[in-house]
Structure 1
Amino acid sequence: MAGKRPIIVVLPSPTGGRRVRVNGEILGLAHNVQDLVEFLAAGHGPSCGSHCSAT
């Protein structure tokens, strides 16, 4: 998978958040789409330019 960084968002935990991993690194717990967008926009995910939007 040269050049690719797998993004994994698991099923919700009992507390309601979803664990987010990029390339095996746990980024945190996303409680909504905006949380996920923020993780990816912070430079941990692929470059998404204007495609990153929670609306």
Structure 2
Amino acid sequence: MIDNLADAPAGGDATPADVELTEAQARAVREFDLRCDTLADLDDDLEEALLELTGGE
């Protein structure tokens, strides 16, 4: 496990699993993921509404 990104292997070999997150960082990641999911759901709802308003065109 890599404790610091500066210690990660060069060339993009480090993966998210290689870095240990603090609880605050992990919470921020979960909140960001939730916001992305919410935005994706809203986008789907808007697309459906537009299709209904335009008659599916």
TM-score, normalized by length of structure 1?
0.27
Higher Cα Rg, which structure: 2
Higher helix share: 2
TM-score, normalized by length of structure 2?
0.27
